[in-house]
Amino acid sequence: MSDIAERVKKIVIEHLGVDADKVTENASFIDDLGADSLDTVELVMAFEEEFGCEIPDDAAETILTVGDATRFLEKNAAQA
Amino acid sequence: MFDLSGRFALVTGATGGIGGAIARALHAQGATVALSGTRREALEALGAELGERAHALPADLKDPAAVDALPGAAEAAMGGLDILVHNAGVTRDNLFLRMKDEEWSEVIQVNLAAGFRLYRAALKGMMKRRYGRLIGITSVVGVTGNPGQGNYAASKAGLIGMSKSLAAEVASRNITVNCVAPGFIESPMTDSLNEKQRDGALAHIPAGRFGAGSDVAGATVYLASAEAAYVTGQTLHVNGGMAMI
């Protein structure tokens, strides 16, 4: 697992208070991890803070799973 | 009770009669205050009067970019932002049939749309800190209506509906969103009434007097306090009994 994937996973576990083994690549924040829509906004804010990047609203709307977040951030970090 | 020491508050329209009273009251309870308004000299005079823990932040709420930037500027100036009081408001009264598009849009822009932008910009930090008090100063006419004030009443009613919706969204984050609805408050406007108009207005106020800015400020301090943590989505009417709603 990449460094970014590890950090994403850690944030998700902390923020949503879920077991680590549930936070798989394909886990949906809302359907599998019990997040509500405000939680997803807060997760995006937490990602922005952790990775020092801006996640625009239209991109944020496409981040539905743990893997979505990791892929977006890996791409963004590469551009930075 | 109602101690605001260590809290940071932004007040828009702070040079007005009500806004000034609110800023003084929050400050007197121990809060650090950021004073916003369009008249720089008046803001700086109020800041000087309050002394420490006061910052003047002039802004034109008709300029959306300035509105978006204001909560961040307040946070930077004070070191935090826990309480936001959107008190700024304008009137452009006219009979409905004669109301110009500009009269409608200017009132909606300052009273309502600026509130939306201020709240949106302030929310991120409040959500992270898991604490916030958003307070909109609306008006009794937002609930009762008033001839000649279709635009103003719409803007103030809009603030109430907006606040209720947002209150439901962020209650779980320990952020409350409420309104204070003043009735007739002593101001240059009430001073300009002639005796007959004054008596006519007072006839509808069981308390038998116009309110003072400090009456509105007291309600605002309560909603800004930790003690009001379980009060959200509400409108607190401060009107001497003229409308019991």
Average pLDDT, chain B: 96
State the pLDDT at residue B161: 98
Looking up tokens 């828009």 gives: B12
Binned at pLDDT 50, 70 and 90, residue B187 comes out as: confident
| B169·A45 Cβ contact <8 A | no
| B169·A42 Cβ contact <8 A | no
How far does A17 lie from chain B, in Å, by closest CA? Answer: 15
Over residues B128-151, mean pLDDT: 96
State the pLDDT at residue B190: 78
Give the least confident one: A51-55, B109-113, B138-142.
A51-55
Annotated binding residue B128? no
Which residues of A lie inside 8 Å of B (Cβ-Cβ)?
A: 38, 41-42, 45
At B237, list the tokens: 């009417």
Q: What gap in Å lies between CA B10 and CA B32, rounded to an integer?
A: 9
Q: What is the pLDDT of residues B35-73, one digit of tens each?
A: 999 999 999 999 999 999 999 999 999 999 999 999 999
Full-model pTM: 0.93
Residue B152 is among the residues annotated as catalytic for this protein: yes
Q: What is the pLDDT of residues A10-48, one digit of tens each?
A: 999 999 999 999 999 999 999 999 999 999 999 999 999
Q: Return the residue of A nearest to B170 by Cα.
A: A38
Q: Return the residue of B nearest to A49 by Cα.
A: B128
| B169·A38 Cβ contact <8 A | yes
Q: Choose the mutation target among A11, A38, A57 for the interface with B, i.e. most B CBs under 10 Å.
A: A38
Q: Which of B124, B169, B170 is closest, CB to CB, to A45?
A: B124
Annotated binding residue B152? yes
Q: Return the residue of B nearest to A37 by Cα.
A: B169
Active-site residue (options: A19, A36, A57, A68): A36
Q: What is the pLDDT of residues B74-132, one digit of tens each?
A: 999 999 999 999 999 999 999 999 999 999 999 999 999 999 999 999 999 999 999 99
DSSP string, A50-61: HHT----HHHHT
3-state SS track over chain B? CCCCCCCEEEECCCCCHHHHHHHHHHHHCCCEEEEEECCHHHHHHHHHHHCCCEEEEECCCCCHHHHHHHHHHHHHHHCCCCEEEECCCCCCCECHHHCCHHHHHHHHHHHHHHHHHHHHHHHHHHHHHCCEEEEEECCCHHHHCCCCEHHHHHHHHHHHHHHHHHHHHHHHHCEEEEEEEECCECCHHHHCCCHHHHHHHHCCCCCCCCECHHHHHHHHHHHHCHHHCCCCCCEEEECCCCCCC
State the pLDDT at residue A80: 47
CB atoms within 10 A of CB A19: 8
Contacts A–B by Cβ distance under 8 A:
10
Over residues B22-28, mean pLDDT: 98
ipTM above 0.90, yes or no: no
How far does A37 lie from chain B, in Å, by closest CA? Answer: 9
Annotated binding residue B185? yes
